[in-house]
Amino acid sequence: MDTVSLPMPANAPAPGTCVRVERPEPALAIVVFDPPHRSFPVFDAPLVRDLRTVVDTLRADKSLRGIVFTGRKPDQFLAGADIEGIGSITDPEVFRRACHELHDLFNTIAGLEARTVAAVGGPVPGGALELSLACDRIVATDDRSTRIGLPETQLGIIPGWGGSHRLPLRIGVPAALDAILTGRLFDARKAQKLGIIDRVTKPEYLVRIASDIAMGRMPCPRKTRGLKSVFVDRNPLALALIGRKARKGVDAKTRGKYPAPYEAIQLVLGAPSARHSTWATSEADAVAKLGVTPECKALVSIFFGNEKAKALGKGPDGERPAAVEHAAVVGAGTMGAGIASVLAQKGVRVRLADLSSEALGKALAGHRKDLSVKKSRRRIQAYEFDAAIDRLDAVPGTIGMGLCDFAIEAVAEVLEVKRKVLGALAQDMADDAILATNTSSLSVDAIAQDLPHPERVIGMHFFNPVPKMPLVEIIRGHATSDAVVTRTAALALRLGKTPVICRDVPGFLVNRLLGPYLDEAVRLFVGGVEPLRLDRVMLDFGMPMGPLALLDEVGIDIAGHAATSLHEGYGERMTPSDGLQRFLDDKRLGKKSGLGFYQHKGGKPELATDLDSFQRPSGVSSLGDDELVDRMVLAMFNEACRALGEGVVENPEALDLATVFGMGFAPFHGGLLRYGERRGLSTIVERLQALAKAPDVQGRNPGRFDPAPNLTQAAAGSGSFRSK
Ligand code: NAD
């Protein structure tokens, strides 16, 4: 085949260079994916082109008894489809044709007379697994890097190269549905247990064992599925029940915002009875439909934003900074305990200090508990449990911290206390050891003032709960050096977090945007909007939690403190509502005190019964749902434009990423700015102008809804904040 439908990358190498065939013995062919233009092989147009040629040649070779498909290294098989390609295709026909080409290619592989074995390792997602499923057997390395699965629904599409058909036939409908709907990537042992792969081996034996299986010298029986599983797949009633339950689960999780899981359910349920001629068409149709949806494009853009963030952990020439070996964490409360535990779990030796021995004891117990859960779920081995426990030491004072190469303080949010703690660490530690603060509202520059070598002082703002929240804002002070920023970002990445670099401004980025959003919610509540309705409209919008529920979760005192510091930092447009004062006076602080907007008695929180006594009904209670959403979301959007205009983050992609990972801003919108761009910046400017004139229950917020200058400019120009 000369041409393929997938977009050809600009740096496409010459035909025949991406797939190599080795013949270690006359009847055996080893097909190696080794594209010269990729540091990691990807199923892009040049690779598909060359694989087609190779497969056609091998099909014609009647002397062959075995064929092994493998990567250039045991941990580099193939990274699935070229996601850049998915993002760039706008014509559904291109998706459809590409699916049919890949179906044809994989069907040819499935029909080869020689015995085929996929020898896989490292990431084996999506198209890489679909190719493997077309082979007679799959052998995988038991290496930690091996991750096998079909994550397409996470990108707004479905497995479209045979996966939504071949996986259910291999492992049964219920297991395949779970794998495809969660998009989970399994380690080799789990994949073997599920029946996705046939054998696990050490990386150094991968090709040898695969070759022996391909040549029939080594038995490799396929795990048989029990009769019960086969019966379920053939029973229309059972399938209908499974389908109903799956749809209900997706409804609850996504509120119907993502079309891909529903398409996946339909295809997987139909797999056991589908005829060969129909499944391929249905799969290709579904990909053609889904691939061009805004949801798919938004999810792909987040994927790329995340990939871009990974580059922050490397220097300008791609060099990696020295890995942090020993870290000091001061403050063992909510945040410090979480930070210390995550560091220890990721291989850093940690010394954790606190004035309170009770806090230290609690932190150690929490660390042990977290690891125990992981061990009991077999996510870590016993030796990893022991090692992670050993790596975290609780120490009185700053004993032994002088040897650490990185320190992070998570003590009380008081400037003098933080300065004192970092000052003491600076005296003990080497001049180039990094001093980080987890402050959420103080200025990093103010903290760094008078510390020796301020170039090594930086903000590392984790979110609560630390083990779960994926974002870390890296706050660069005036004096912070590039090398310190890079090394801190590299540490965040090592902890499995996504770093976003921010300037040292009040609230940094995420809290600065949450401020006006939550404040608008409080104003609407005080104005008489039913609290459950407020939370519901934002859940319907796609937020993971309603704003009032979020206030309870964060703590009404913390939110109040943040609102005050934003007001001090930005002036009138951040004037906080006085609606929470009585909550604060009554020490009604949300979840931590058992009562806020909701009653928290364990189990599902219930709405507090006395909330109407906090309301001063006004016209806002008659506003429609869309208007309520606009008041909250556009207050935040306008502030995001201002932050972008001030260069708080480097680019719109970073801002979008921070909103998705730091506040759970609906991923199907692709981030806050992308949401606005898709809706139309001119429409938003008009809406803001109208809101700026609308009456407010607590008087005006001068400036909050006045369109940011860069927004007006972008609306009048390209309609986007990004350079094309
Ligand atoms: P916390 O009150 O739970 O813990 C603070 C701990 O610091 C306490 O255990 C206290 O004993 C200890 N401490 C105070 N002074 C000390 C000193 N001089 N030396 C050693 N230990 C000392 O507070 P937290 O919620 O973990 O917050 C800590 C920091 O993280 C604050 O700067 C806060 O703004 C920031 N932060 C908090 C959150 C959050 O949601 N809680 C989120 C992001 C950032």
Closest CA to ligand 1's atom 21: 354
pLDDT score, position 451: 95
Q: How many Å lie between the centroid of ligand 1 and the Cα of residue 336?
A: 7
Q: Using a pLDDT cut of 90, give the percent of the chain over it.
A: 86
- In this structure, the answer to whether residues 618 and 472 fall within a common structural domain is no
Calpha distance 610→18 (Å, rounded): 68
Please tell me which residue in 367, 461, 600, 669 is annotated as part of the active site: 461
Average pLDDT over residues 51-73: 97
Does the global pTM surpass 0.85? yes
Active site residue 453: no
353 within ligand 1 shell (Cβ under 6 A): yes
CATH number of the domain at 549, please. 1.10.1040.50
Q: What is the mean pLDDT of residues 92-107?
A: 95
240 with 187, same domain: the answer is yes
What is the Å distance from ligand 1's center to 560 Cα? 17
492 alpha carbon – ligand 1 mean position (Å): 19
Q: State the pairing for strand pair 606-607/598-599.
A: antiparallel
Mean pLDDT of 688-709: 83
Cα 405 to averaged position of ligand 1 atoms, centre (Å):
21
What is the rounded CA–CA span in Å between residue 291 and residue 297?
8
At residue 699, the pLDDT reads 64
Query: Parallel, antiparallel, or unpaired: how do β-strands 457-462 and 471-476 relate?
Result: antiparallel
Q: Is 516 found in the same domain as 476?
A: no
For residue 462, the ligand 1 atom closest to its alpha carbon is 43
The reply to whether ligand 1 has any atom less than 6 angstroms from the CB of 413 is yes
**Residue from 364, 411, 469 to probe ligand 1 pocket by mutation (most atoms less than 8 Å from CB):** 411
Quote the CA–CA distance of 674 and 652 in Å, as a whole number.
Answer: 8
Predicted confidence at residue 225, as pLDDT, reads 82
Residue 382 structural domain: 326-503
What CATH number does residue 207 fall under? 3.90.226.10
Task: Please say which residue of 292, 314, 342 terminates a domain.
Answer: 292
**Is the CB of 425 within 6 Å of ligand 1?**
no
For ligand 1, pick from 329, 330, 334, 447 the residue to mutate: most ligand atoms within 8 Å of CB. Answer: 334
Examine the domain organization and report whether 109 and 68 are in the same domain: yes
The enclosing domain of 481 has a CATH number of 3.40.50.720
For residue 698, the model assigns a pLDDT of 66
CA of 420, closest atom in ligand 1: 18
555 alpha carbon to ligand 1 midpoint, in Å? 14
**Which of 503, 535, 552 finishes a domain?**
503
3-class SS of residue 47: helix
Q: What integer pLDDT is reported at residue 195 of this predicted model?
A: 95
Residue 543: CA atoms inside 13 Å, Cβ hemisphere, count? 22
Q: How many A from CA of 335 to the centre of ligand 1?
A: 6
Quote the ligand 1 centre to 438 CA distance (angstroms). 9
Higher pLDDT, 205 or 222: 205
**Same structural domain for residues 441 and 519?**
no
- If one residue of 330, 362, 440, 554 were mutated to test the ligand 1 pocket, choosing by the most ligand atoms within 8 A of its CB, it would be 440
Mutual angle of helices 276-291 and 260-270, in 10-degree steps: 180
- For residue 336, which atom of ligand 1 is closest to its CA? 26
Residue 82: predicted pLDDT: 86
Domain count, the chain: 3
Task: Specify the DSSP element, H or E, that contains 355.
Answer: none
Q: Is 423 in the pocket of ligand 1 (CB under 6 A)?
A: no
For residue 51, pLDDT beyond 70 = yes
Ligand 1 center–CA 356 separation, angstroms: 12
What is the rounded average pLDDT for all residues in the chain? 94
Residue of the nearest CA to atom 12 in ligand 1?
331
In a domain, 119, yes or no: yes
Give the Å distance between the CA of 268 and the centre of ligand 1: 49
From the CA of 354, how far away is ligand 1's center (Å)? 10
Q: Model confidence at 57, in pLDDT bands (50, 70, 90)? A: very high
Same domain, 477 and 617: no
Q: Tell whether 463 and 556 lie within a shared domain.
A: no
Q: In this predicted model, what pLDDT tens digit does every residue of 435-483 receive, in sequence order?
A: 999 999 999 999 999 999 999 999 999 999 999 999 999 999 999 999 9
- Residue that is written with structure tokens 């921070």 in the block: 658
- What mean pLDDT comes out for the span 404-429? 96
Nearest protein Cα to ligand 1, atom 8: 333
In a domain, 14, yes or no: no
DSSP conformation class of 73: B
The domain boundary residue, chosen from 274, 292, 310: 292
| β-strand pairing of 457-462 with 434-437 | parallel
With a 6 Å cutoff on the Cβ, whether 411 touches ligand 1 is yes
Is the CB–ligand 1 distance for residue 513 below 6 Å? no
In a domain, 411, yes or no: yes
Q: Is residue 721 part of a domain?
A: no
Atom of ligand 1 nearest to the CA of 331: 7
Q: Is 440 in the pocket of ligand 1 (CB under 6 A)?
A: yes
Which residue's C-alpha comes closest to atom 20 of ligand 1? Answer: 354
Least confident of 49-63, 255-269, 407-421, 613-627: 613-627
Q: Is the pLDDT of residue 1 over 50?
A: no
Q: What is the reported pLDDT for 3?
A: 62
pLDDT of residue 724: 62
If you take atom 16 of ligand 1, which residue's CA is the nearest one? 411
Residue 16 CA to residue 14 CA, distance in Å, equals 6
* 99 and 240 belong to one structural domain: yes
286 and 344 part of one domain: no
Provide the token pair at 661. Answer: 């990972």
Q: 473 and 545: one domain?
A: no
Parallel, antiparallel or unpaired: strands 199-201 and 147-149 = unpaired
Average pLDDT over residues 380-393: 95
Name the percent of the chain lying above pLDDT 70.
99
Query: Residue 6 domain-assigned?
Result: no
- Model pLDDT, residue 9: 84
Q: Is the CB of 345 under 6 A from ligand 1?
A: no
Number of H helices, E strands in the chain: 29, 19
Bridge partners of 349, per DSSP, are 326
Provide mean pLDDT across the span 69-80: 95
Please tell me if the CB atom of residue 421 comes closer than 6 angstroms to any atom of ligand 1.
yes
Nearest CA to ligand 1 atom 1: 333
Tell me if 359 CB under 6 Å of ligand 1.
yes
Q: Do 578 and 482 have their domain in common?
A: no
Is 2 inside a domain boundary? no
Say yes or no to pLDDT of 240 above 50.
yes
Distance CA 106, CA 109 (A): 5
Q: SS3 for 379-433, per residue?
A: CCCHHHHHHHHHCEEEECCCCCHHHCCEEEECCCCCHHHHHHHHHHHHHHCCCCC
Query: Given pLDDT bands bounded at 50, 70 and 90, which one contains residue 2?
Result: very low
Per-residue pLDDT of 152-193, as tens digits, reads: 999 999 999 999 999 999 999 999 999 999 999 999 999 999
Same domain, 490 and 528: no
Structure confidence by residue, pLDDT tens digits, 305-352: 999 999 999 999 999 999 999 999 999 999 999 999 999 999 999 999
Assigned domain for 122 exists: yes
Q: Which of 339, 354, 360 to mutate to test the pocket of ligand 1 (most atoms within 8 A of CB)?
A: 354
Does 557 contact ligand 1 (Cβ within 6 A)?
Answer: no
| Beta carbon of 471 within 6 Å of any ligand 1 atom | no
Assigned domain for 312 exists: no
Instruction: Kindly give the pairing relationship between strand 598-599 and strand 123-125.
Output: unpaired
24 CB-near residues (< 8 Å, 6+ apart):
30, 211
